[in-house]
Chain A
Amino acid sequence: MNLFKIPLTLTYQEVLPFLGMNKEPSPQEKELIEYYLKEIKQKAQPLGIWKTFSVKAWEPGKISLENSPLLLAGVNTSKHFKTCDHITLLGTTLGQEIDHLLAHLSPQNPAEALIADAVASTAIECFTEQLDLYLSTQIKRKGYFPTARFSPGYGDWSLHRQKEFLASIESEKIGLTATAYFLLQPMKSVTAALGWSKTPVPRSYDSPPAAEGFAKKPCCSAQTCPYCHLASSCPDRQK
């Protein structure tokens, strides 16, 4: 288990998908985006923490781990990690300062709040991606094939598992916790699992059917397409 800080390198183009924009922004929008890119790069304290666990038992809908109370529950979750011997659980956050920045903006300036929020979402996603690539290199060197990231909240891996997830990685060491309603605190944070597969796996995932009561749009219940790192490969989004 380790923790790191990685400095952020982000461009305004990377932010556009998080604003739902597929066109060049207007000069005003661009100026605001660049401004918040600078603010967030300055104020963010990006931190990551992870720990690797061996898989104890696999059955359809449920994977248990050695030395961790966390269950990787869900039909699609178990499918995603079917060929894995080990799972690395990781947590990342941009830190409290960013929450303060966003909270301060929200009520008075909706345009700036929207843009700052999108920049922060881009930042945490890119930071998580960088950590993923680093860990994937290590997984490959050990002769395994890294799976795509898969998080609580995807498909039917209930968000209610978040507390066991965080406990498994001792997330409080990077100041990452969850509220009673299972929202991550600070807000701009990510938890994700990376599998160590014995055989090659696609670095995307099959879109799961929505679970009972959840949003029945034709894709996963995470509902975060613009934010989802799998957006480019997700078969349902391509429809």
Chain B
Amino acid sequence: MSKFLSSLKEKVLLGDGALGTMLAQKGLPPGESPELWMLSHPEKLKIIHQAYLAAGAQVLQTNTFGANSLKLQEYQASSQVRATNLTAAELVREVAGEKAFVAGIVGPTGHFPAPLGAYTWSQLVEVFREQMEALQEGGVDFLFLETFSDLGEARAALYAAKNFTSLPVACSLTYTQGRTLTGTPPATAAVVLAAMGADLIGANCSTGAQELLPIMEAYSQATNLPLLVEPNAGIPELIAGKTVYRETPARMAGFVKPFLQLGVRLLGACCGSTPQHIQAMNEKLYALSPEKQGNIPTNKKFPTRLASRTKVVTLGTSELPRLIGERINPTARKSIAQAFRENEWDLIRQEGYDQAEKGAHLLDLNVGLPELNEGELLQESIRQLQMALDIPLVLDCTDPAALEKGLQEYQGKALINSVNGEEKSLTTILPLAKKYGAAVLGLTLDEKGIPAKAEDRLKIAEKIVARALETGLAREDILIDCLVLTAATDPALSLETIKAIHLVKKHLGVSCILGLSNVSHGLPQRSWLNNTFLALALGAGLDAAIANPHDPRISGTLAAGALLTARDPGARNYLHITGKATVPSALANTKTKTTPNGSGTKTVSLTTLHTYLLQGQKEPLIPLLQELLATTETDPLSLINEGIIPPLEKIGSLFTQGEIFLPQLLLTSEAVKAAFSYLREQLPAAALENKGTIVLGTVKGDIHDIGKNIVKALLENHGYRIIDLGKNVPASAFLSAAQKEKAQIIGLSALMTTTMMEMETVIKEVRKEKLPVKILVGGAVVTKEYARRIGADGYGKDAVETIKVVQRLLTGDEARRGEDEPF
């Protein structure tokens, strides 16, 4: 073990602080490359390193944050990679001697791997390799990957470090609001990077110490690796006109103990910090005896954990059984094969969404088509799926070259499906799992085929597990599939699989997966067989099933099976699954709602009608209206006046008072509309007075129409006839519609300062033609002053106010003028 790693075991190491801000003080011109400046001012760097050493730092960082070819390219200096890294490392070593460790700093390239950015895995690995080899040559003690904000890029850097150098590697990411820029929470980062061989894991930059505490807490729950943290400190902020330095050295020192208690073994500081900060932290560290420095138990047991870029899924005896969606498989499904051949990625993504929607926790991805390049297809599929979905993928591929491409592309911790007992498989696939930080699923078959007896399948499983452990995989990252034979050919063999699961769980203690569908091949009612077999397998300890999520029974079998095998404490999952609503849409209204008297019975009364309308419930409306018309003595017109108008007015005033908001207003409005149209059908044509005709539209050049549509919905409910011209409507169209429809009002809507001028144009045209029409204007940018200035007749501050303005304009009723209306 390296001296650095063994030191970490014995004690907490103090790192140093920021270089950037210190360099600025020493004369680094703003905007210049710190690495290139160092080449001409090495003595300035030495002074800074010496200051940190004197302050107590036991780890000194090299000035190489941007010393990779992509960052140096911005200064036309990508040929200087080796020179800058070597110089920086040698400078620090000169100062540190034997007194401190030298950290080879590797920062991000500023570019993300595809699909998030434009660079490929190989390109990024190459960039990191170049820098890291130079740092190793320069004599650094370990590589420190710092301020990474994308897990994909961090994986590429870690891969380069592990494969092209023999140095320990620390991985530090930067978090805002609990996630990296590209959506990775700390627990997920820990799972993925630890599996790929990181020796330390941590967080730095972006925020101060306080905000990093929960991040470190999350890390400590997710890994046994030693942690590192480097918060920002000492960055001045302008608060209420004064320059304030919140993170003083003393305040930073106050965080030392809390971080140690979370398992931090390397503690430093980032942007804004100075030797004074390190000094203060050193004094605090010194004051804590080695015992108090933290003896964090580092033997937490974890179940099998697989991860996407954003999410971890656990598997194992201590966890609920999981569903792996099997549908993306071209051999089994012609439509999928077609989609792959023709690059119909929408279809593939939709398939992914649908399976996730139906409860799949993971997705099996198989792209095996003989005429297509499996590696490239796997790469592209992963790219498409991992951008769209956050559930982890199972890479169903046995060709090592293709699989490797997939593992490079996949920004998470994949499950490789599969390896088997054959020598060739073991020697080609297992190392890939280790190299790329994946878990592996072993099939209990070998060159002799699938053994009939459970005991023989166990023997193959034993071989696979032993070899995987030898390769360096953790036991929880080795899974076994005891294989399912078609019951049609030999039903007795189905029980051998169940027995095999039992044996594997008992003797090997690894997670077990099964591909269910094979059991029912060639028999009718496949779902019965699949689900019953699943239940039997769950009884034997199965941890996950590869199955069809569209089978409506599967979720139930999994949930019930979990409950009955004591994997669902308090039946929480079971209750959750059974209580789950189906299709989300308020218009479907499948949930039960309370009725006014709180019981399940419906009271046939106007009050009930009012309640349904106010709550926006459409489903029970028509039946209630029918009953009211049939059983009471109300006629349709009175029902409108007494049953619908009052709640309509009420909801308007609730809205004005701020008790309810627009969405509820609209939901009610839709219910009212439904009630109205039913009742209108019951009335003779002339019975409903036409209160007026209004032409509505959004003006030319403007395409925002939500506000206008809301006004339309409300006006229709209040009995006005609306001619909706839509959006981007020229003045001439307003004119001709008003003339043709004999409208009393034209309503204009605009949302932008660049389009509201059109309103004036419309008004001018209307006045020119001397049309007896009133013009009403509204929209976010419009004010009553503007409305008055351009000669409008009314201004609608919001949808409900607009109704009042319309009423006033049509009745000419001065008494109805709102208080803040000028005209």
Q: Which residues of A contact B (CB under 8 A)?
A: 2-7, 9, 19-21, 23, 25-29, 31-32, 34-35, 38, 42, 85-86, 106-107, 109-111, 113-115, 117, 130, 133-134, 137-138, 140-145, 153, 159-160, 179-183, 187, 198, 200-202, 213-217, 221, 223-224
Contacts and interface: CB of A to CB of B under 8 A. Distances in A.
18 contacts: A2-B117, A6-B116, A7-B183, A9-B310, A21-B663, A28-B616, A29-B663, A107-B724, A110-B666, A137-B147, A141-B205, A143-B28, A143-B30, A144-B30, A159-B752, A182-B754, A187-B704, A216-B783
Interface of B, helix, strand, loop or mixed by DSSP: loop
B385 to A, nearest CB: 12
Interface in B698-743: 701-706, 709-710, 712-713, 724, 726
Given A9-B310, A28-B667, A181-B702, A3 B206 contact: no
B710 A114 contact: yes
Nearest to B310: A7
Given A137-B147, A200-B243, A21 B20 contact: no
Contacts of A111: 586, 663, 666-667, 669-670
Q: What size tier do the contact residues of chain B reach?
A: 35 or more
A114 B243 contact: no
Contact of A85 (B28, B30, B703, B710): B30
Q: Which of B20, B30, B663 has the most CB of A within 10 A?
A: B663
Given A34-B584, A110-B669, A183-B754, A27 B591 contact: yes
Contacts of B237: 200
Nearest to B357: A38
Given A25-B663, A111-B670, A159-B753, A214 B238 contact: no
Contact of A19 (B662, B669, B701): B662
Contacts of B271: 140-141
Given A2-B110, A31-B586, A106-B706, A221 B781 contact: yes
A214 B118 CA distance: 42
A25 B232 CA distance: 38
Contacts of B304: none
Given A141-B20, A217-B783, A202 B117 contact: no
Interface stretch (B3-11, B173-181, B424-432): B173-181
B188 interface: no
Query: Which 6 interchain pairs have the tightest Cβ spacing?
Result: A181-B701, A111-B666, A35-B584, A200-B238, A28-B586, A143-B24
Contacts of B701: 179-181, 183
Given A109-B587, A217-B783, 13 more contacts: A7-B309, A29-B586, A32-B663, A42-B388, A107-B726, A114-B706, A140-B272, A144-B30, A160-B754, A181-B752, A200-B243, A215-B782, A215-B783
Contacts of A159: 752-754
Given A29-B667, A115-B663, A214 B753 contact: yes
Contacts of A180: 701
Given A32-B586, A159-B752, A133 B206 contact: yes
B295 interface: no
Interface string B230-261: 00100111110001000000000000000000
Contacts of B238: 200-202
B632 interface: no
B21 interface: yes
Contact of B183 (A6, A28, A215, A223): A6
A114 B390 contact: no
B706 A183 contact: no
B691 interface: no
A181 B758 CA distance: 11
B752 A182 contact: yes
Q: Which of A28, A117, A160, A183 has the most CB of B within 10 A?
A: A28
Q: Which of A110, A140, A215 has the most CB of B within 10 A?
A: A110
